[in-house]
């Protein structure tokens, strides 16, 4: 049994998608970010960086934090949603790391400077908007001739989807990224993805 500590954010949705795809039993524990739930001593014991999500695997006693590592851990444990070859697994890891190190942080910064910052900072907005569009182009090229990021549906797709489906909130027109648009539709149509997003949004299974 997996104990999932999460919140309704793109990173927080990733493990729920994988768990729903696997149809694994798990306990959902919502962390209230608005009241600082991520900074409590109890939560910091399982996620020292004070960030959601985190899991406790009751079968093994292993605690894992950081969304990309959680996806990798569960995929490795179950032997699903990652390739069986060494090269294939590392290809998935390459794209997973791009999401973790670039797509997520850059889109997050763009959202902050366009929606949250108390006053406009044109340099920052232009910098992060330009890099976001570049990264969308990278993903669009990768999806040329592929239904999913690494050929078969994998944890890489589960990592990207919660972020990429928020492009509209950043006022980025996806029309020029036709491969991304098709991919978003394919992933978004998956019943497990829909269930996961609904569960985390509602805060209960």
What CATH number corresponds to the domain at position 138? 1.20.1050.10
Residue 144 buriedness (CB in 10 A; 0-12 / 13-18 / 19+): exposed
Q: Are residues 46 and 92 in the same domain?
A: no
The pLDDT score that the predictor gives to residue 205 is: 86
Confidence of residue 187 (pLDDT cuts 50, 70, 90): very high
Give residue-wise pLDDT tens across range 110-152: 999 999 999 999 999 999 999 999 999 999 999 999 999 999 9
111 and 172 inside one domain:
yes
168 has pLDDT over 90: no
183 shares a domain with 165:
yes
73 and 151 part of one domain? no
Q: Do 29 and 56 share a structural domain?
A: yes
- Same structural domain for residues 138 and 94? yes
Q: Determine the average pLDDT of the residues in 48-56.
A: 98
Does one domain contain both 196 and 176?
no
CATH number at residue 60: 3.40.30.10
Q: Per DSSP, what are the bridge partners of residue 2?
A: 26, 57
Same domain, 36 and 59: yes
Q: Are both 50 and 101 inside the same structural domain? A: no
96 shares a domain with 68: no
DSSP H helices in 79-190? 86-98, 104-111, 122-142, 155-164, 178-188
CB 39 within 8 A of CB 32: no
Q: Count of domains in the chain?
A: 2
Strand partners, 3: 27, 56
Q: Are residues 96 and 170 in the same domain?
A: yes
pLDDT higher than 90, residue 171: no
Range of the domain at 142: 86-190
Q: Are residues 39 and 114 in the same domain?
A: no
């Amino acid at each position: 049994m997996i104990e999932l500590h999460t919140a309704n954010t793109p990173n927080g949705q990733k493990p729920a998608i994988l768990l729903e795809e696997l149809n694994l039993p798990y306990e959902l524990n919502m962390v209230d970010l608005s009241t600082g739930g991520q900074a409590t001593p109890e939560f910091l014991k399982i996620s020292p960086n004070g960030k959601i999500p985190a899991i406790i695997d009751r079968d093994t006693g292993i605690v894992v934090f950081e969304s990309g590592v959680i996806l990798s851990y569960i995929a490795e444990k179950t032997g699903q949603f990652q390739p069986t070859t060494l090269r294939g697994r590392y290809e998935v890891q390459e794209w997973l790391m791009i999401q973790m190190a670039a797509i997520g942080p850059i889109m997050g910064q763009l959202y902050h400077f366009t929606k949250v910052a108390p006053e406009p900072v044109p340099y920052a907005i232009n910098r992060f908007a330009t890099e976001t569009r570049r990264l969308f182009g990278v993903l669009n090229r990768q999806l040329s001739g592929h239904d999913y990021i690494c050929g078969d549906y994998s944890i890489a797709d589960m990592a990207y989807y919660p972020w990429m489906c928020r492009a509209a909130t950043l006022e980025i027109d996806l029309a020029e990224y036709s491969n991304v648009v098709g991919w978003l539709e394919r992933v978004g149509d998956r019943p497990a993805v829909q269930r996961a997003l609904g569960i985390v949004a509602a805060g209960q299974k």
